[in-house]
Amino acid sequence: MTKNDEYTQPMGLDVGTSRIVVARCNDKKYRYESQLNAFLTLPHSKLAENLLVREGVFHEVRDNDIVVAGNDAHKFAEVFHAEPRRPMANGILNPQEPHSLPVVRSIITRLLGKANAEGQKVYFSVPAPRDGADTGIAYHQASVSQILHDLGYVPTPIAEGLAVVFGELADANYSGIGISCGSGLCNVCLAVLSVPVISFSVPKAGDFIDSQAALVMGDIAIRMRVRKEQAFTLNGLTGDRVSDALTVYYQDVLLNLAQALRTQISSAQRLPKFEQSIPLVLSGGTAMPSGFLSHFEKVLRANELPVKLSEVRISADPLNSTARGALMAALC
């Protein structure tokens, strides 16, 4: 089943800076559907609108603009050699983007549709605080919750790092460290028996890598992102200028993440005493390049954590891990 026509069970929703993903479970099989969290505006004309309708392009007309959203935004950006706009930045609705809330509403509505049963649950991901500050998370959470409520769902927020714990650490009784390396943020949660003990985020993530590499290369971020996602291996400096730029900023992100892990866990006032070592699992698109895991393990060894780790691994399905964990939490 690819549509929401008859689905009445709980759902998990990953509201990410780069992608929005919905997870459903049918006959004990997980099913995922996603859209890029991006859009492009075109000048409105009746002819252009009719052509987009005929071609089945995901769009809405707003004032004097045609707003092309989701996966179709990337296709149009390539045609026009333009940078797609992002309704979210740093894990939350972008306050500098007037189209942010309507676009996110449109994408969520397209992915979920209206609720098919009274009380149908949706658990949706929200970022953890940065440096103990709200930084707009409360408004973002309330806005997404209202979108889901308007569609007839009963919404419940779940911290993104905790969703990774639910999605990846069932065999460890939901005890360990879950990290979502996304576009806007790296979200981290240390949990014991599904209870979050430490939850935080760091702002250096995929978008930071793209923008900084683009800056030093004199290019646009989308080209860095495409290169990173399609043909990049994290294996040190090779002499290829684009690859070397991406490598430098990847190393910066990994060092920043490892140092934040050590600082946050070391400063926790009521850190549980773990009788056994715990697993650490990474997810998210930023963790996908070949070589990421070995580099992260190397940085971790240089920034020893105050807890013992039984393993460090990357999710087998890193792009859907958060949505799957949100769904598992909703099913509990």
Q: Do β-strands 88-89 and 92-93 pair in parallel, antiparallel, or remain unpaired?
A: antiparallel
Q: What is the mean pLDDT of residues 16-25?
A: 97
| DSSP type of residue 172 | G
Percent over 70 (pLDDT), the chain: 98
Q: For residues 24 and 2, give the distance between their C-alpha atoms in angstroms, rounded to a whole number.
A: 10
* pLDDT value at 273 more than 90: no
Q: Please give the C-alpha separations between residue 173 and each of 13, 163, 185, 289, in angstroms, as whole numbers.
A: 22, 14, 26, 28
| Dihedral (CA of 141, 142, 143, 148) sign | positive
Q: What is the mean pLDDT of residues 66-94?
A: 88
| Contacts for 260 with CB less than 8 Å, ≥ 6 apart | 188, 200, 202
Percent over 90 (pLDDT), the chain: 77
Q: Which residue has better confidence, 300 or 229? A: 300
pLDDT, averaged across the chain: 93
Q: For residues 314 and 312, give the distance between their C-alpha atoms in angstroms, rounded to a whole number.
A: 7
Residue 279 in 3-state DSSP? strand
> What is the number of alpha carbons within 13 Å of residue 135 lying toward its C-beta?
18
Q: Where in the chain is the domain with CATH 3.30.420.40?
A: 170-314
Q: What is the mean pLDDT of residues 149-162?
A: 98
| Model confidence pTM above 0.85 | yes
What is the pLDDT at residue 116? 95
| Contacts for 244 with CB less than 8 Å, ≥ 6 apart | 237, 238
* pLDDT value at 118 more than 70: yes
The CATH-assigned architecture of domain 170-314 is 2-Layer Sandwich (3.30)
| Dihedral (CA of 90, 93, 96, 102) sign | positive
Q: What is the mean pLDDT of residues 221-249?
A: 90
Write out the DSSP string of 56-81: T--EEEETTEEEEETHHHHHHHHHHT
What is the pLDDT at residue 1? 37
What is the pLDDT at residue 282? 98
The neighbouring-strand residues paired with 11 are 122
Q: For residues 145 and 141, give the distance between their C-alpha atoms in angstroms, rounded to a whole number.
A: 6
Q: What is the pLDDT of residues 184-195, one digit of tens each?
A: 999 999 999 999
Q: For residues 115 and 117, give the distance between their C-alpha atoms in angstroms, rounded to a whole number.
A: 6
